[in-house]
Amino acid sequence: MDNPLFFIALIVGVIVLAIFLPRWVRRSSRSAGERAEQRVTASRLEEVLGELGSTVVVHAPEPVAREIIDGVALQQPRKFTVLAGGDYGIRFVEPDDSLVRLVEDQDGTRVQIERFREYLGKPQTTEFWADLRSRVASAASARGIATTAGPALRHRRDRTTGVWSLE
């Protein structure tokens, strides 16, 4: 134990460990955090896609349903936009971040999202879509028109553009 070479090797080992250990700890904790974030995002994404895939059926012909939705969209111009071609837009950044379309259904007219964009790594118009659906149901109920939940739709993502569209 009186050998100075042992103490020098111990000091060099501590110095090398002090240099490389913080980098290793940072790298491993960063990768563990990223993995946890991906798991949370994936579980939340399924919930968001389920919400954006939900539809509402207005038990009325298309012109009556369009009149109801026009009234709802014009009440909230910061959230909803009446687009050319008869479609409706839900705004997060752009007026057409989510594209809402009316489709003929066996029970009347189905209101559904055709496509939507993602911002900050996920779709952001979920709350606005839920708000639009509830407002349409309320406006239809006020006119004595029944509404029901329609079939759930599935969307697929274009990885290059971040746009989700119907499968």
pLDDT computed for residue 117 by the predictor: 87
List domains and CATH numbers for the chain: 53-166 (3.30.310)
Predicted confidence at residue 139, as pLDDT, reads 93
Q: Look at residue 1 in the predicted model and tell me its pLDDT.
A: 56
For residues 52 and 129, give the distance between their C-alpha atoms in angstroms, rounded to a whole number. 7
Phi, psi of 65 (to 5 degrees): -60, -40
How far is residue 64's CA from residue 140's CA, in Å, rounded to a whole number?
9
DSSP string, 78-93: TTEEEPTTS-EEE-SS
Written as tens digits, the pLDDT of the chain (167 aa) is 577 888 888 888 888 888 888 888 888 888 888 888 878 777 788 888 888 889 999 999 989 999 999 999 889 888 898 888 888 999 888 888 889 999 988 888 999 998 888 887 778 888 999 999 999 999 999 989 888 888 888 888 887 777 888 87
